[in-house]
């Protein structure tokens, strides 16, 4: 006999786990078919293949929960960075830089993005290709694109792009696996960015983000081509430390997604950069929340000034903690790589 608690448990399992959902009959499916036909030239047989794939798609509510509770949203900086700027990842990153020096050097020459920054992205996204995602991309994008409570438009557009990607790159829609959001490969590109920004960096005739070489070149290309106003500034750092001379003026809002102030404006608001910067340089103020109780109350926040390249990294993932971790990883891995190979100093 099933108890009340047992019924509740079974109900929760049904909500959290995958369930077949014939998305081919979803009210929005017709709009998907129409867009694929009118905007991407899908034939009737192509549409039939899309419809068949949507019949096979699973609804996985836990993927929506994972997107809504991403650690960049829920953890303090102390918690977040301790799990990611760690000794093992730094060691692996240094070895990755050492092993892929020629590719990383060429990426910097062609695009201006330093190898350690590229390695920082790869280390944070997939631990250098070790964890590229276990969800079927079809399931992730169908679940998020049809059922997400607040971001269906974004994911619905990526579902459309995914079907175009599969047609153009020769994949079956049911074949590929990626993140809970439908990101793919070492570099975790969404389908639209894969189609637009991935490059064949090893010259084998394929744009394969499950290869280290193409992931390296594609990340560098992303930072220069994703949005012109956020393009990488060759030869410039990402961050400099900052101190507050007094309580932060109410006119300054930290942790914005773009460089919203000049250095002069931050100085006038009581923020002192830890390095000499041009007064008219567009920057932002970064405020990092440390764990409550780990330091005296007046030291529970840490401040940095984000330079244009910091916000270029944020175009990859629009979270302060993400870009800060890439910055910290890049610095730590570069130092460790220099110990492995003195020529990298």
Residues 6 or more apart whose CB falls under 8 angstroms from that of 123 comprise 89, 92, 93, 96, 329, 333
The whole-number pLDDT of residue 324 equals 97
CB contact burial 127-140 (16+ within 10 A = b; e otherwise)? bbbeebbebbbbbb
The whole-number pLDDT of residue 130 equals 97
Neighbours of 259 (CB within 10 A): 19
Alpha carbon distance 196, 199 (integer Å): 9
Residue 270 burial (C-beta neighbours within 10 Å; 0-12, 13-18, 19+): middle
Among candidates 19, 36, 26, 20, which has minimal Cα distance to 191? 36
Among candidates 3, 59, 74, which has minimal Cα distance to 26? 59
Residue 285, φ and ψ in degrees, nearest 5: -100, 130
Q: Quote the percentage of the chain above a pLDDT of 70.
A: 91
Question: Does the active-site annotation cover 125?
Answer: yes
The whole-number pLDDT of residue 296 equals 45
* Single pTM value for the model: 0.90
Question: 39, 56, 108, 125: which is the annotated catalytic residue?
Answer: 125
Neighbours of 38 (CB within 10 A): 9
Residue with the two structure tokens 């995602």 = 133
Residues 6 or more apart whose CB falls under 8 angstroms from that of 206 comprise 200, 214
Q: Which domains does the chain have, with CATH numbers?
A: 23-68+132-228 (1.10.8.350), 239-306 (no CATH)
Per residue in 162-199, pLDDT tens?
Answer: 999 999 999 999 999 999 999 999 999 999 999 999 99
Per residue in 33-92, pLDDT tens?
Answer: 999 999 999 999 999 999 999 999 999 999 999 888 888 878 889 989 999 999 999 999
Q: Is the pLDDT of residue 7 over 50?
A: no
């Amino acid at each position: 006999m099933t108890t009340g608690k047992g019924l509740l448990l079974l109900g929760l399992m049904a909500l959290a786990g995958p369930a077949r959902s014939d998305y081919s009959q979803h009210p929005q499916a017709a709009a998907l078919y129409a867009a694929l036909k009118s905007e991407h030239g899908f034939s009737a047989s192509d549409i039939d293949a899309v419809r068949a794939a949507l019949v096979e798609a699973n609804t996985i509510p836990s993927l929506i929960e994972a997107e809504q509770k991403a650690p960049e949203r829920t953890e303090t900086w102390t918690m977040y960075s301790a799990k990611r700027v760690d000794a093992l990842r730094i060691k692996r990153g240094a070895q990755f830089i050492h092993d892929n020096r020629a590719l990383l050097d060429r990426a910097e020459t062609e695009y201006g993005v330093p190898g350690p920054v590229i390695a920082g992205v790869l280390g944070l996204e997939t631990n250098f290709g070790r964890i590229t995602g276990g969800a079927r991309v079809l399931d992730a994008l169908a679940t998020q694109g049809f059922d997400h409570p607040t971001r269906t438009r974004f994911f619905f557009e990526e579902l459309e792009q995914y079907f175009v990607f599969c047609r153009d790159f020769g994949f079956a829609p049911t074949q590929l696996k990626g993140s809970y959001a439908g990101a793919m490969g070492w570099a975790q590109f969404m389908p639209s960015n894969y189609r637009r920004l991935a490059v064949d960096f090893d010259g084998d005739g394929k744009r394969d983000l499950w290869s280290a070489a193409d992931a390296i070149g594609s990340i560098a290309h992303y930072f220069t081509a994703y949005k012109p106003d956020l393009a990488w500034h060759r030869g410039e750092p990402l961050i400099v430390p900052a101190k507050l001379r007094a309580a932060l003026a109410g006119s300054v809002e930290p942790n914005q997604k773009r460089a919203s102030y000049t250095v002069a404006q931050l100085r006038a608001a009581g923020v002192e950069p830890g390095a000499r910067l041009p007064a008219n340089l567009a920057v932002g103020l970064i405020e990092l929340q440390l764990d409550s109780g780990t330091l005296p109350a007046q030291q529970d926040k840490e401040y940095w000034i984000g330079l244009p390249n910091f916000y270029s990294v944020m175009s990859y993932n629009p979270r302060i903690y993400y870009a800060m971790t890439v910055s910290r990883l890049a610095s730590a891995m570069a130092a460790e790589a220099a110990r492995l190979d003195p020529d990298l100093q």
